[in-house]
Amino acid sequence: KQEVTQIPAALSVPEGENLVLNCSFTDSAIYNLQWFRQDPGKGLTSLLLIQSSQREQTSGRLNASLDKSSGRSTLYIAASQPGDSATYLCAVRDNYGQNFVFGPGTRLSVLP
Amino acid sequence: EAGVAQSPRYKIIEKRQSVAFWCNPISGHATLYWYQQILGQGPKLLIQFQNNGVVDDSQLPKDRFSAERLKGVDSTLKIQPAKLEDSAVYLCASSSLPQTGTGYTFGSGTRLTVV
């Protein structure tokens, strides 16, 4: 059974810092991995999707990497801004189904 | 494009009462999901529909939870009777490309508090 963990659980940084969020999964037989953002009282917004054959994806100040063999992904946020404050969720989709297994998330606060 | 609509936004009920949530997916999305998100945890899939048929309900507590998607559009999720541990946010999502894992759109959710 796939299990997804994320560290740290919470992170508070001053504006402008570069930061890294970590995601680990137990079964390396994944189809793809996706990073989501969740704002309080809102649904989830997809940030980056990495297929199992890819090593990384970039979108603006966000960069996500995938090391399938070690069961790890990192989300790198450059030059953080207060608007980046949210919970970031990692989700993996395995080769067998159409659904995602989510991690518990990292709650990020960027202080002005 | 309108998003995934959910109602109500909030609901407070006593244990052993029943409750129902409604979801209207994005027009044309054949796949609809219901997730349960307990505070401090990631969303957990309860049920997946493809049109009006159930694809996966392996994690749905069928003794108290039920869901339907009539005519392959709107969906309702019901809990009867509710327990304290059902307190959570219930998220609905729809997708046009479930095989690829892309094209997911989530609603804002219904926050249920069972007292």
Write out pLDDT tens, residues A12-70: 999 999 999 999 999 998 989 999 999 988 889 999 999 999 999 999 999 999 999 99
- Position B100 scores a pLDDT of 64
Predicted pLDDT of residue A40: 87
Q: Do B31 and A98 touch (CB under 8 A)?
A: yes
Q: Per residue, what are the HEC states of A27-50? A: CCCEEEEEEEEECCCCCEEEEEEE
A99: confidence class by pLDDT, cuts 50, 70, 90: confident
Instruction: Give the residue numbers in A contacting B (CB under 8 Å), as ranges.
Output: 4, 31-32, 34, 41-46, 49, 89, 91, 93, 97-100, 102-105
CA distance linking residue A73 with residue A104, whole number of Å: 14
User: Taking CB atoms and an 8 Å limit, are B45 and A100 in contact across chains?
Assistant: yes
Residue A86: pLDDT band with limits 50, 70, 90? very high
pLDDT greater than 70 at residue B3: yes
Instruction: Report helix, strand or coil for A82.
Output: helix
Closest CA to A73 of A89, A96, A84: A89
Examine the pLDDT at B99 and tell me if it is beyond 80. Answer: no
Percent of all residues in chain B with a pLDDT value above 70, rounded to a whole number: 94
3-state secondary structure B60-108: CCCCCEEEECHHHCCEEEEECCCCHHHCEEEEEEEEEECCCCEEEEECC
Q: Which residues make beta-bridge pairs with A106?
A: A88
Assign B59 to helix, strand or coil. coil
Q: B45–A42: do the CB atoms touch at under 8 Å?
A: no
* Cα–Cα distance, B40 to A94 (Å, whole number): 23
Tokens of B101: 């894992």
Element (H, E) at A112: none
Selected residue of B91, B104, B105, B111 to mutate for chain A interface (largest A Cβ count, 10 A): B104
Mean pLDDT of A65-79: 96
Tell me the three state secondary structure of residue A110: strand
The whole-number pLDDT of residue A42 equals: 83
Most confident listed range (B68-72, B78-82, B104-108): B78-82
**A97 — pLDDT class (breaks 50, 70, 90):** low
- Does the beta-carbon distance from B45 to A98 stay under 8 Å? no
Size of interface A-B (CB pairs under 8 A): 56
